[in-house]
Amino acid sequence: STGLKTRSLTMIESTQKPPITASFCSSGMGVVSTSSTPAASVTMPSSPGLKSPAKVAAAAATRPPSPSTAQATAPAPATPVLAPPATTPEAPAPDFVPAARTRPNITSLPDFFVVNIGAEYPRIDLARWRLEVKGLVEQPLALTFEELLALPRVDIYGTLECISNEVGGRLIGTTLFSAARMADVLRLARPQGQVAEVVMYAADRYSESMPFDKALHEDTLLVYGMGGHILQPEHGYPLRVYNPNHYGMKGPKWLTRLELVAEPYTGYWSRLGWDKEAIVKTTSVIDGAGAIRNQNGIAQIGGIAFAGWRGIQAVEVQIDGGEFRPAVLDRPLSHLTWVRWRYDWRNPPPGDHTIVVRAFDGNGEEQTPQPAPPHPDGASGWHKVHVTIA
């Protein structure tokens, strides 16, 4: 990781936004995710037990919120202010200019997707919140937020994708994560015995797990900031897990407890039939269907490609069923992010056309053309759009 630096946070008092309800997980909508024993000021919706993240969120939005005296009377938690990050975006690759309508390299927080298991997110009193570390450890922990912030800080750009994302969907985003390494916390607890997995619990009754060796990897983060700001409530305040190379279901929000166990653990969505590993598939997306202008004999087409830790080696574009041709790649913001691409279509004939994109990961493996729905292990297939050259 790059940009490591320890910084202090200043505490100020601020009123939290009221919870947002939504029909599902489009950009900026609030619904709930993760859990163990909540603080007194945490409200937790009941688990719906449906088969799909999309269906769960949609169903939850139709239920009235459970009455909660604690939620109505709880004091507003102190909202930390994140010190300036130690990392700045890397400059684009030489000669790379994104095509018109290509999404920004960094997703704004209002546009960053939110997918949870309920229609509300927990309201957490930071003064009472603790991150517990239990199980196969010599020294159980109950870390305060301040103690967590005292650990070495990591600032790194990362891409996060929902396992419910359709091919070409918007449930994917890139931001600057500010965090402590999970490994630093686990080592404080002095793991013992034959630890198989680390189980992660959160304040909305969500739970997930990861292999112990993945928890010790330097890229596995306990995130307290996104986009240069302390986490917003809908994004997991005060703490969420960034589990790179895996879909978002493997990184709980509103984290309250880590438990080291000797046997594999089946998490919330895996119990409902979703893949336990949830490793991201190679994907590539065309941004901007519809009309494309021919400017000086060139029509530019662009988008993103992502393959987790594997990275992206190449992106190719096919027009009207013809030969695939290479696109130009930007420089990724880090080894954890998507990469933007652009194809310059020279002398395009006016009228309607069909464009297809495919990517090759860093191992040279071609993105599968075989269409598959998100369930159980993520959508696949080549993205196809129709455009009109004007």
The C-alpha atoms of residue 85 and residue 89 are separated, in whole angstroms, by: 11
Phi, psi of 22 (to 5 degrees): -155, 160
The tokens of 21 are what? 């309800």
Q: What is the mean pLDDT of residues 376-385?
A: 98
Give the β-pairing of 325-326 and 131-135.
unpaired
Range from 67-71, 232-236, 248-252 carrying the lowest mean pLDDT: 67-71
Selected residue with higher pLDDT from 93 and 323: 323
Q: Cα torsion at 83, 184, 338, 28 (round to 10°)? A: -60
Report the alpha-carbon angle 90-312-384, nearest 5: 115
pLDDT digits (tens, 9 = 90+) for 223-235: 999 999 999 999 9
Range from 32-36, 213-217, 303-307, 311-315 carrying the lowest mean pLDDT: 32-36
Helix, strand or coil, per DSSP, at residue 325:
strand
Percent above pLDDT 70 for the chain: 80
pLDDT digits (tens, 9 = 90+) for 192-201: 989 999 999 9
Closest CA to 308 of 336, 269, 341, 328: 336
Q: What is the mean pLDDT of residues 328-354?
A: 97
Give the β-pairing of 197-202 and 172-181.
unpaired
Closest CA to 337 of 87, 167, 114: 87
DSSP string, 103-142: PPSS--GGGSB---SBSS-----TTT--EEEEESBSS-EE
pLDDT confidence bin for 93, thresholds 50/70/90:
confident
**Contact 256/38 with Cβ under 8 angstroms?**
yes
- Burial grade of 4 (CB within 10 A; 0-12, 13-18, 19 or more): middle
Selected residue with higher pLDDT from 50 and 291: 291
